[in-house]
Structures are given as structure tokens and as C-alpha cells.
Amino acid sequence: MLGGVEAYGKVWRLGANEATEVKFLKDVTLGDKTVKAGTYTMYAIPGETEWTIIVNSKLDTWGAYSYDEKLDVARVAAPVAKPEKEVESFTIAFDEPKDNASTMYIAWENTLVKLPIKY
């Protein structure tokens, strides 16, 4: 539960167990930050009205226990919205790319975060 079991203001691994990894096949812009092509671990610092999405270069990590801020490649602020209906299982999804852009959706319970991606 966000704000409970998963506390606001603390680095979170975006899911359960092993930290979530993402692979970009070409350079992208996340929000207003450029990220080079490659594989990265994604973390977040959840807040009630805004999340900080973190792209980090350390791979194969369990939870956020070995998170190292010095290895951050980008930090992007993303506003929090409420989904149309409650999302029971933590979900990361992407919409269909259009005009060299897409959106990453992070949803769980009554929280929806949208991160614009351009490439």
C-alpha cells in the first residue's frame, strides 16, 4: 500500500523483489532528461502528489537495498493522478508510440503516474 507499507519519500524499487529494469534501444528523453541507449534499473520516490522516477546504471539489484544515488543517470518528476478505477496489481505499461513519443504508465491501487518518453 502506497503511503503505508511502501512509505512516501523513500526510494522504492518499482515493484516486488528484484528491481525493475528497462532497456532503451536508442537515446530517449524522459520528461526533460536525456538518457542514452542502454539497460537501466528504475526506482521511484513516491509522494502523494508527485513521484520522482529514477533511472540508475546499477543492474541486477534486489529491492532498493543497494541503491546508490551516485549511479543515477536521470531523475524526473512525474505528477500523480487517480486512475479511472482501482488497479489491484502493480502495473507498468506503455501506450502505442506516436510521432516518436510514448507514455509510461505506472499504476497501483488509486495511484497513476504518467512519464512522457520521446525518442
Question: Once rounded to an integer, what is the mean pLDDT over residues 62-83?
Answer: 96
pLDDT over 70 (residue 1)? no
| CA–CA separation, 27 and 119 (whole Å) | 6
25-44 tens-digit pLDDT: 999 999 899 999 999 999 99
85-116 tens-digit pLDDT: 999 999 999 999 999 999 999 999 999 999 99
Backbone CA torsion sign across 74, 46, 63, 26: negative
| CA–CA separation, 77 and 55 (whole Å) | 12
| CA–CA separation, 97 and 6 (whole Å) | 31
Question: Is the CB of residue 55 less than 8 Å from the CB of residue 78?
Answer: no
Pairing of strands 87-94, 101-109: antiparallel
Which region holds residue 4: left if phi is over 0, alpha if psi is between -120 and 50, else beta? alpha
> Residue type at 73?
V
| CA–CA separation, 47 and 42 (whole Å) | 16
pLDDT range class, residue 52, cuts 50, 70, 90: very high
pLDDT over 70 (residue 79)? yes
